[in-house]
Amino acid sequence: MPGAPQRIGDFAASYPADTSVIGEARRGFTAWLRRWVPDEDVIDDLALVLSELLANAVRATSRTAARVQVLACADGRDVVLEVRNARTDWVDVESRWDLSDPLRAGGRGLLIVETLVDTLAVEHDERDGTTTVRSRRSVDQRG
């Protein structure tokens, strides 16, 4: 069927919990996206989403686990991006930053991400101590 969505291989990577890996992760994810997303603006948006989610995961990762996972797939006409990290305790963003302070040093990552994606969900699994942030963004695919 002409113009039907094409399923491509998923993007899956595991990185050390260190902000120095964000550039490498962006490059790999962007190369994966370019295989089927025609719009460079969408690619730039999703690369920023990855950067914000990965930076949050790195900051929140338990040093004993010391790895974060990035998973993405082309699901129909959507990109689903998931970032998962192990943690020792969950710290609510509102207890970390004064969100009413416009000059605060942090606490904007998920706000930025929410403006760039269609859906955003944060899940905490108390059984295995992981946090998973999943986003979904509709895109036009190459036919």
Q: Is a pLDDT exceeding 50 seen at residue 106?
A: yes
Tokens representing residue 100 in the block: 């009413």
Q: Could you give the angle at the alpha carbon of 107 between the alpha carbons of 127 and 116, nearest 5°?
A: 90
pLDDT in tens, 36-81: 888 999 999 999 999 999 988 888 886 666 789 999 998 778 999 9
Domains of the chain listed by start with CATH number = 11-138 (3.30.565.10)
Mean pLDDT of 10-18: 92
Nearest to 46 by CA among 125, 129, 113, 108: 113
Longest dimension (CA), the chain: 53
Decide which of 19 and 48 is more confident: 48
Decide which of 118 and 102 is more confident: 118
